[in-house]
Structure 1
Amino acid sequence: MTVLDTRALNRATLARQLLLDRADLPVRDAVAHLCGLQAQEPQEPFVGLWSRLRAFDQADLSELLTERRVVRVHLMRRTVHLVTDEDALAWRARHAAMLRQQVLGVYRRELDGVDLDELAAAGRAVLADGEPRSMAEVVRALAGRWPTPGHRALGEMVVAALVPVAQMPPRGLWRTKAGVRNVLLSSWLGREIDPPAQDGTDPVGEALVRRYLAAYGPATAGDLRAWCGLAGLPTAVAAIREELVTFRDERGRKLLDLPDAPRPDPDTPAPVRFLPAFDNAILGYQDRSRIIDDVHRGLSVAGERVVLVDGRVAATWTVEAGTVVVTPLRRFSRADRTAVGEQGREVAAFLSDDESHRVRVAASPG
């Protein structure tokens, strides 16, 4: 069985994630290909798409949100994701049990004794009039009936797990600060979410496996589980096993992939890329060593924006008074500093609508 080393996996990931070459794709198609973008920080998907698309215009994503063609929902790993309307409707029911269990994992003691089916029905009734509500407003409507659980526990169980909701614009629009206002997903998108299969098959799970591998593969079953948070996908993998090819990584683990998906030459040059906080190019794996060193792994869950140099996380970056500030995690060569500076100026221009091209690359450590 062919062994793919870390560099080969890195280049495959960059290619699937549209980070090796920027793509000429419409924004909605890119969101679909990437299986959504993690979006609990509302402005971060703009940077993620800018880094991946040749002609990305911030207004295009804002328009898709207001037109209800992409939507902000709780999905993979109980995090807010920006996904297409079609994927939200197709995937939400498949994630329902995971969402419930993950909220219970945090608030089990506070929610002890609460009939979750009754709570779901009551939460849905509160939102049934189509009026967007904050989590606090939903909780206030329910607290008289369930006074014991803490407000946070009650609210998260309803709007993040039990009741399929969308987070309405203006939250998520370019350069817009707005609180979360929840509305029933079915109301916002004009039809009910797709029901789970009743015949023992798992067509949604099978589609998720294919879509994940197209955007993240080659990958292990553990990587797939880490990306979506779903534990029940071995059956889906088994159902499509004959469609897939397998490899081994350097530690002997089995990697699954689509036969015709890109696996570039490991020596393919990789350009500098600036990634947003919580980018799934890093978070979409259990083993993230293909793109980030273990010593820096904590950055990927701490909300740090990172810079890829030669395809790997090599720096963090922030914006201070219009200046993009890059902090290297390792020693940069002169060529590295030049390339990072050039890309940093482009990021600064993008974030400032071309009003600033300032970038400062701090001294390398050591």
Structure 2
Amino acid sequence: MPTVLDDRALNRATLARQLLLDRAALPALDAVAHLCGLQAQEPQEPFTGLWSRLRAFDPAELSGLLVDRKVVRTHLMRRTVHLVTAGDALAWRSRHAPMLRQRVLGTYRADFAGVDLDELAADAARLAADGVPRTMPELARALAGRWPGPGQRALGEMVVAALLPMAQVPPRGLWRTGGGARNVSLARWLGRPVDPPHQDGPGHPEGPDPVGRALVRRYLAAFGPAATADLRAWSGVAGLPGAVAALRPELVVLRDSRGRELLDLPDAPRPDPDTPAPVRFLPAFDNALLGYQERGRIVADEHRGLSVAGERVVLVDGRVAATWRTDAGTVTVTALRPLARAERAEVVEEGGRLARFLSDGGDGGARLVTGEG
């Protein structure tokens, strides 16, 4: 019989994989790689995500990685802008391409009725070949003469988020720096072509779906133990059963308290459920919440909508217990449940450290608002 992990055991395993149980002594590049990227449609949020996970994190380090093209902002998992390593962007983009196209069509299918998407992609690639950074509306306007049917928003989103592998270039995403989203060809920006789709065949030396198998391993290392439904929810890619099946002989099979089958890497950390979990402040859209179909390991069902609404949350004893926002150098925390005195003190202390980080070492502090008056 598979080992059953109760909610607390699953919570502690998740925190360990997400570098939220103990801050890691990792370079920012290694942390981005381990986490399979950070969701980044809000450009400043990844800085808080790494601050909560790394010891002595310097935001200039992440900005430097963007400028040096070692990490990149691009549409990937779930058709969402992610901050990923350059190598992962190039290796994973083709595997995500069908999902990206289908998700844009799911929103704009009527706009593209009768449109040959391959021809549109070829026109867009010729336009982007000059390497000039363009906004989504600028790309749409440049293509609208030949493709007048789709609305400009639909046309721009189809090109940038689905048809062409694109990168959002700095200053977008740099620390404390504004800047609209301007897009260039991913291959041109990184100086290397996107890896082509892998073609499986009888007796192929790499085996079935090597990119998919790498995605499964990487996901479990950062998010496991997890169900296949969780893997689909994180990636948005439905076509991974073959990769999972090929890996099953080397994976551990577990179950959660609801009876769901969970898969995991055999040597991945699964800490003692009684391991203390420190207070952690998570940014908007953090993948520690969004990376699962079943999010009960970290957030109660009644608060599940906070993550998709872009609320920033506070973990107390490893679970969502509050939301937070910033205002004039102060981090304001709103409790979602009664907090014990020791919990309140830890929340205020950690919130003060976050305020000082966000204000570049200024005199920021934190205040706690509760429902108890």
Normalising by the smaller structure, the TM-score range is over 0.9
- After superposition, the C-alpha distances for 1:157-214 in whole angstroms (9 at most, x for unaligned) are 0000000000000000000110001000000000110011112431000000000000
Q: Which residue of 1 aligns with 2:340?
A: 333
After TM superposition, the runs of 4+ consecutive aligned structure 1 residues lying more than 3 A away are none
Task: Work out the CA distance in 2 between the residues paired with 1:114 and 1:66.
Answer: 36
Q: Which residue of 2 aligns with 1:244?
A: 251
- After superposition, the C-alpha distances for 1:18-48 in whole angstroms (9 at most, x for unaligned) are 0000000010000000000000000000000
Matched, 1:268 2:268: no
Identity %: 73
Residues 17 and 281 of structure 1 are in contact (CA less than 8 Å); yes or no, is this contact kept in structure 2? yes
Task: Work out the CA distance in 2 between the residues paired with 1:93 and 1:115.
Answer: 19
Q: Which AA in structure 1 matches 2:368?
A: V
Q: Which deviates further from its counterpart, 355-364 or 159-168? A: 355-364
Q: Which residue of 2 aligns with 1:123?
A: 124
Q: CA deviation at 1:358?
A: 1.5
Q: CA deviation at 1:363?
A: 2.1
Matched, 1:167 2:168: yes
Matched, 1:359 2:363: no
Task: Work out the CA distance in 2 between the residues paired with 1:81 and 1:365.
Answer: 38
Q: Which residue of 2 aligns with 1:181?
A: 182
Q: Which residue of 2 aligns with 1:45?
A: 46
Residues 353 and 365 of structure 2 are in contact (CA less than 8 Å); yes or no, is this contact kept in structure 1? no
Residues 328 and 365 of structure 1 are in contact (CA less than 8 Å); yes or no, is this contact kept in structure 2? no
Q: Which residue of 2 aligns with 1:303?
A: 310
Counterparts of residues 315-334 of structure 1 (less than 5 Å): 315-334=322-341
Q: Which AA in structure 2 matches 1:92?
A: R
Q: CA deviation at 1:249?
A: 0.8
Give the SS at the match of 1:317: strand
Give the SS at the match of 1:110: helix
Q: Which residue of 1 aligns with 2:13?
A: 12
Give the SS at the match of 1:299: helix
Q: Which residue of 2 aligns with 1:62?
A: 63
Q: Which residue of 1 aligns with 2:205?
A: none
Counterparts of residues 213-292 of structure 1 (less than 5 Å): 213-292=220-299
Residues 330 and 365 of structure 1 are in contact (CA less than 8 Å); yes or no, is this contact kept in structure 2? no
Give the SS at the match of 1:206: helix
Counterparts of residues 17-166 of structure 1 (less than 5 Å): 17-166=18-167
Task: Work out the CA distance in 2 between the residues paired with 1:252 and 1:129.
Answer: 54
Task: Work out the CA distance in 2 between the residues paired with 1:147 and 1:363.
Answer: 53
Task: Work out the CA distance in 2 between the residues paired with 1:199 and 1:355.
Answer: 55
Q: Which AA in structure 2 matches 1:328?
A: A
Q: CA deviation at 1:365?
A: 4.8
Give the SS at the match of 2:49: helix
Give the SS at the match of 1:223: helix
Task: Work out the CA distance in 1 between the residues paired with 2:173 and 2:364.
Answer: 25
Superposed CA RMSD in Å reads 0.8
TM-score by length of 2: 0.97
TM-score by length of 1: 0.99
Q: CA deviation at 1:119?
A: 0.5
Q: CA deviation at 1:147?
A: 1.0
Q: CA deviation at 1:295?
A: 0.1
Q: CA deviation at 1:99?
A: 0.0
Q: CA deviation at 1:354?
A: 1.3
Q: CA deviation at 1:325?
A: 0.3
Residues 135 and 182 of structure 1 are in contact (CA less than 8 Å); yes or no, is this contact kept in structure 2? yes
Q: Which AA in structure 1 matches 2:57?
A: F
Give the SS at the match of 1:330: coil
